[in-house]
Structure 1
């Protein structure tokens, strides 16, 4: 599993915001969280409703709910079409659970107490260089999710919302020469499933923690499932052997250099001599241009012990430490790139 949200990077930063609006931006985020948690957008999918009706269904105070929706409507999230009656807008559509580009789950995850408190302790990470989350809870986020299944489910739903980047990966890379592909830490396997659907002669292996693998089996189409093995394990210990290619999507960024290198070394040991390693990740470019991944990097700092978004130079050093040469870095139509590597000669 991963902590990134590749779908949710901004294509253009709102540079027209004033300094005071930047200072108060978290007010808007908190309002979005509560309406996402309450499912307000889902309640409006069939038409506008009065705040009294919405409050009755959500067990909230009508006037307080009105004030929140009025504030959000002022920035284009919902619209007050007549006194105290609200409808969806284009921005509010994505807060629906089943919208094509839904961000409801990620809005909820970002606002949950454990996540929000960790960001509230950003100063701790700044002073120590260590994970604020681990400082607060005495464990990393993955361990926390294991011990708190409800939060683990919220996390899983949020990560699933990044699946729409899969077509961008398929459009950018030709997988036709690969016969056997192993997806390391692939979660429920949406990327691997989409690749297998596109390449009917390919076989795959989905590798993740045993509990994740058990959940993944229930979400696959049977026709594609017949060409895939589901293997549970720990990528720090061992991974499936002798495949043509290994793919890691948003895995390396969760770890410090030592542990990231250890994962890559496991791939190096397992893969064929002529095999390929494909790391799908953000690559931070030089310069001052806005990239959402620069803020995702801060999320890694706070949430993951040692986690970080890397530059091309940092990736070069990391891959060399694990015995790989990067052959090319292929951009996609998002901030995500495909880093292709082979065993160093």
Structure 2
């Protein structure tokens, strides 16, 4: 992971994406302002990881480097499907917590106190330790929904719900995807005050008159009225007890005939895969209070809160959809 993060941070994929032809080592070093020896080692390792293509012409001095299709699509900032902001957030925050994985397993606790000196009860203040980091995380989520949003929002027909509330909706990236699919609906984004302020300041989606913002803490404050509540990457952050409390609050607030759309990465029932979801679950251990869950575990939480007609669909992408 650190090889990928370092190459993103140094701008390797951006440089090669902008170049009209493959570049040699000396040109890459000159433009990035890096050491020749270190850059050569990094580029060759990226090539072994299938992140770069290498072409050799007349000996080692004639080695040329170019992005692979994967890197051009997801790692270069100029790409509309770039994931660079989320990767840089992972490099600066998530990866540092993973350095204490063994300690997290021993204690069963996230490692924010160990890494950042922040107690677990102030967890989400730690995620937004600076405005720059907060903006990077919000842009990262925008990137995630640019490639997975439509799949999870079309897993079920949501056209029957004219008023939607996206809990923890951040910049409005998922709301924007929702409006592109269901243009007649209106979406209210409910998030903490600092996120709402950043969304209005930095993201053009906040200017869409069909998108409204409501600030507050969804555990403590009244929720906006809606026909459908979206919980995307929300429940995996929390313990079962907190999930149950939030779901019960939603059930009491939801209009008759309304529902919830839960967007999470689902574990197989035997918990032996998918590997990506297992890694996400370990990530919840080192970074939050929660975990990824199986469909049965979500069914138990959601039905006990009073929701009926539980359905789930695996989308084939990194996130799946649950409707109740």
Q: In the alignment, what sits opposite 2:43?
A: 69
2:223 alignment partner in structure 1: 240
1:175-219 Cα distance to aligned partner (Å, 9 max, x none): 111111111111111112222232232122111112212232352
Query: Structure 2 vs 1, CA of residues 170 and 118 (structure 1 numbering), >3 Å: closer, same or farther?
Result: closer
Alignment of 1:324-335 (within 5 A): 324-335=307-318
RMSD: 2.2
Q: Please name the residue that 2:59 is paired with.
A: none
How far does residue 56 in structure 1 lie from its aligned partner after superposition?
2.6
Aligned positions of 1:191-340 closer than 5 A:
191-217=174-200, 218-221=202-205, 225-287=208-270, 288-304=272-288, 306-340=289-323
In the aligned structure 2, how far is the partner of 1:55 from the partner of 1:76?
Answer: 20
CA distance in 2, matches of 1:201, 1:79: 46
Deviation at 1:322, TM superposition (A): 2.7
Q: Note if contact 2:163-2:185 (Cα within 8 Å) is conserved in structure 1.
A: yes
Matching of residues 148-163 of structure 1 within 5 Å: 148-163=130-145
Partner residue of 1:26? none
SS of equivalent residue, structure 2 residue 97:
helix
In structure 1, how many angstroms separate the alpha carbons of the residues matched to 2:277 and 2:155?
19
Higher relative contact order, structure no. (Cα contacts within 8 Å, ≥ 6 residues apart): 1
CA pair 227-111 structure 1, distance change in 2 beyond 3 A: closer
Distance 1:117 1:289 in 2: 25
Cα contact 2:172–2:205 (8 A) shared by 1: no
CA distances 1:81-134 after superposition (whole Å, capped 9, x unpaired): 24243212223322201324323233323322x432311111111111111233
2:98 corresponds to which of 119, 123, 128: 119
Unaligned runs of 5+ in 1: 1-28
Distance 1:221 1:127 in 2: 43
Q: Does 1:173 align with 2:156?
A: yes
- Cα distance in 1, alignment partners of residues 39 and 112 from structure 2: 31
CA distance in 1, matches of 2:163, 2:232: 17
TM-score by length of 2: 0.87
Q: Which residue of 2 aligns with 1:130?
A: 109
Partners of 1:169 and 1:229 lie apart in 2 by 21
CA–CA distance in structure 2, aligned partners of residues 316 and 157 of structure 1: 31
- Cα distance between partner residues in 1 of 2:45 and 2:318: 31
The reply on whether 1:105 has 2:88 as its aligned counterpart is: no
**Secondary structure of 1:278's partner?**
strand
Unaligned runs of 5+ in 2: 57-61
Provide the TM-score with structure 1 as the length reference: 0.82
Q: How far is 1:74 from its partner?
A: 2.5
Distance in 2 between residues matched to 1:195 and 1:274, nearest whole Å: 20
Distance 1:260 1:143 in 2: 20
